[in-house]
Amino acid sequence: MEGAKAMKIPKASWLQDDHGQALVEMALVLSILLLLLTGIVEFGRVLNAQLVVSHASREGARIGVVGAADDFICLRVTNAAGTLDASKMDIGISPLPHERIRGTELKVEVKYPVDIVMPFMDKILPDPYWVRGATTMRVE
């Protein structure tokens, strides 16, 4: 019996060492977490631009239905979209000023390209991603 106990084979010490396991797990989880976080930030940028463009089109339509000229409507749209680059904005106003009579509809459409910053996001969203805001109101 004593001989059987003496035959016990000792385990290698490196099999019991698990200090590197936490580092490997953190590297795997951290890469996925950073990918998710940057995706959330990028979608947040796009949604922010969408909200600003929608607000700007509403402001332009509201000032247009009370009799403002097209230049003043464009100025109001660019002022309402203060955080966006006004030189990239595409503003469409219809109908023409002489066709705007009381009871007709005025449509202000604003388009803006959002540049995608994260390199992997261009597989999901086109670069640039165009956001659009359109508002139609009745001329007063």
Structure confidence at residue 14 (pLDDT): 59
What is the SS3 string spanning 64-126? HCCCCCHHHHHHHHHHHCCCCCHHHCEEEEECCHHHCCCCCEEEEEEEEEECCCCHHHHHCCC
* pLDDT band, residue 2 (cuts 50/70/90): low
pLDDT digits (tens, 9 = 90+) for 34-66: 989 988 999 999 999 999 999 999 999 999 999
Structure confidence at residue 123 (pLDDT): 84
Structure confidence at residue 33 (pLDDT): 94
Q: How much of the chain, in percent, has pLDDT values that exceed 90? A: 59
Instruction: Report the mean per-residue pLDDT for the chain.
Output: 88
Structure confidence at residue 135 (pLDDT): 96
